[in-house]
């Protein structure tokens, strides 16, 4: 029992260090104005994304029909974004917005998956980065709305037509607030899902290694064998959670892109 209690105590002590390790750390300057660890991983994700896209383009240009796991995998994702996100949400105007939405999807997906590699961090693990991507999405759909309806027309369209005169200003203010709130919801949803998932994986990794440590140190008895057996359980759960996180990394890229498409569609629609 003392071995078990000691293991849980060490897990508790390590959790604080784990959570702190996910906070942004400045490489140059400070975390307010500077080059942070997450900025580095963001640039790495961006570089890998660009390399993958150009490698896919070169292979498709050479073969016309995609061959191999890599080319077919990229082709499947492109078709998924085109058909399920763009065509399914935007309708006739999907071609116009497909380049932007595909870029957002691939960027967020690569930034998410970068953090799934051991010791690497997700490019989307900081609210500063997810906030920047959310601001780009916000600026894009606002630009689309203003280009289609004019600046005054778009601003006016935030309040639905046909409302009583005294209700219109209240609804308009609520809609303005709701429109700007989309930046926060896009950024926080993506950040929280990636941050929480990595913290959970880190906790189970700590538990798996901590509970087996007495056996590795040569203390073989009934208590240490029991903690070693629990370590196997934590490892199995870690693998299952890792598999779930692989899906979540893709799903979060899909949700971010889909919501961006929905906001574009709302900006384009005559009835906001």
Q: How many CB atoms lie within 10 A of CB 268?
A: 20
CA 237 to chain centre: 22
Q: What percent of the chain has a predicted confidence (pLDDT) above 90? A: 33
Instruction: Determine contact, residues 197/245, Cβ cutoff 8 Å.
Output: yes
Task: Look at residues 136, 109, 140, 139 and name the one whose alpha carbon lies nearest to residue 255.
Answer: 109
Q: Tally the domains of the chain.
A: 1
Of 270 and 234, the one with more pLDDT: 234
Residues 155-181, mean pLDDT to the nearest whole number = 86
Range of the domain at 55: 2-268
Distance (Å, rounded) from C-alpha 89 to C-alpha 257?
A: 11
Q: Examine the pLDDT at 180 and tell me if it is beyond 90.
A: yes
Q: Examine the pLDDT at 13 and tell me if it is beyond 80.
A: no
- Structure confidence by residue, pLDDT tens digits, 71-117: 888 889 999 999 999 998 998 999 999 999 999 999 999 999 988 88
Of 28 and 53, the one with more pLDDT: 53
What pLDDT is stored for residue 219 in this prediction? 54
């Amino acid at each position: 029992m003392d071995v078990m209690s000691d293991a849980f105590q060490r897990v508790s002590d390590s959790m604080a260090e784990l959570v702190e390790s996910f906070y942004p750390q400045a490489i140059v300057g400070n975390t307010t104005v500077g080059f942070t660890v997450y900025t580095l991983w963001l640039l790495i994700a961006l570089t890998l994304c660009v390399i993958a896209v150009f490698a896919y383009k070169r292979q498709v240009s050479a073969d016309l029909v995609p061959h191999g796991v890599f080319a077919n995998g990229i082709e499947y994702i492109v078709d998924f974004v085109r058909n399920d996100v763009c065509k399914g949400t935007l309708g006739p105007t999907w071609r116009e917005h497909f380049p932007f939405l595909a870029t957002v999807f691939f960027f967020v997906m690569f930034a998410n998956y970068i953090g799934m590699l051991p010791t690497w961090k997700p490019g989307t693990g900081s609210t500063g980065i997810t906030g920047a991507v959310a601001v780009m999405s916000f600026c894009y759909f606002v630009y689309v709305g203003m280009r289609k309806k004019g600046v005054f027309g778009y601003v006016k369209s935030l309040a639905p037509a046909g409302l009583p005169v005294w209700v219109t200003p209240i609804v308009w203010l609520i809609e303005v607030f709701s429109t700007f709130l989309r930046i926060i919801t896009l950024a926080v949803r993506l950040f929280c899902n990636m941050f929480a998932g990595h913290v959970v994986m880190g906790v189970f990794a700590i538990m798996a290694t901590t509970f087996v440590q007495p056996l590795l140190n040569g203390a073989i008895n009934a208590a240490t064998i029991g903690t070693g057996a629990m370590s196997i359980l934590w490892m199995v759960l870690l693998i299952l959670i890792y598999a779930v996180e692989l899906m979540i990394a893709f799903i979060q890229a899909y949700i971010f892109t889909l919501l961006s498409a929905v906001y574009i569609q709302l900006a384009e629609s005559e009835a906001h």
